[in-house]
Amino acid sequence: MTVPETAPVGAPGPDQQVPDQAELDAQAEERARAEARLRLRRGRLATAIAAGSLVVLVGVVALLGGFERRTDLLTPVEPGTVITTGPYEVSLASATLQHRTNADEWVAVVSGSALTTGATSIRPPIGDSGFLYARSAAGGGAQAATSITLGDPDSFQGPGNLTPGLPAVPWTVTFRFPTSPGDRLLVAVFDQEFTTPYLFSDEEGWRTTSKASTMILPLEVLADSKY
């Protein structure tokens, strides 16, 4: 019996057309162009993020005393005052300070309340993208908020976001310092505007401005903790 020959696995069948070299070259060129466009988009995004962070950082340093303090852009308020910034109404009323010996850092936790006045659920941003900064009342470098907890800080079931139409909920804002900020903390809540904050996009979003409400909070010093 004669066994019919079969085509190797992956080989084109009798009805399949083998692409010629020109077609293969065109496909390779299109893939290269797509990869180049992707690298360009990533580079633009990284540049936009870096530029935006630099603008915020320079503004914070200038306002809070790093270069030459701009008191004309700062509005002192009392602790507990409700501050409107972008789609939020927030207050900050008290603060604690604890030395974390394992990382050898000082952690300030500021407590207050927050709600959103917007139309969608939202979570306050942190870091250089956020609107909350703090430094020692005596001077020194400003630190951005490193974390925000909504709801009861001792509960594992707090809300992930602020929901439109609901009343204010408790919140805590954490700042970390390489050295002790002393016994008083200057906290700045920066204004925000709805604009196009990205260098290479027309997408709108909230951007921190150069104006801020500031307050001095006494620090309740807690016992040292390893973590």
For 47-60, what is the mean pLDDT?
46
Domains of the chain as residue ranges with CATH:
63-221 (2.60.40)
Locate 111 and state its tokens. Answer: 């407590």
Q: Which comes out higher in pLDDT, residue 72 or 87?
A: 87
The per-residue pLDDT for range 174-183, each reduced to its tens digit, is 999 999 999 9
Sequence-distant (6+) residues with CB within 8 A of 214 are 74, 75, 76, 77, 186, 187, 188, 189
For 114-142, what is the mean pLDDT?
93
> What per-residue confidence (pLDDT) applies to 159?
86
Whether the Cβ atoms of residue 70 and residue 61 lie closer than 8 Å to each other: no
The per-residue pLDDT for range 185-225, each reduced to its tens digit, is 999 999 999 987 666 677 888 989 989 999 999 999 999 99
> What per-residue confidence (pLDDT) applies to 67?
35
Angstrom distances, CA of residue 50 to CA of 24, 54, 162: 39, 6, 28
For every residue of 116-174, DSSP letters joined together read E-SSS-B----GGGSSEEEEETT----EE--EEEES-TT-S---SSB-TTSPPEEEEEE
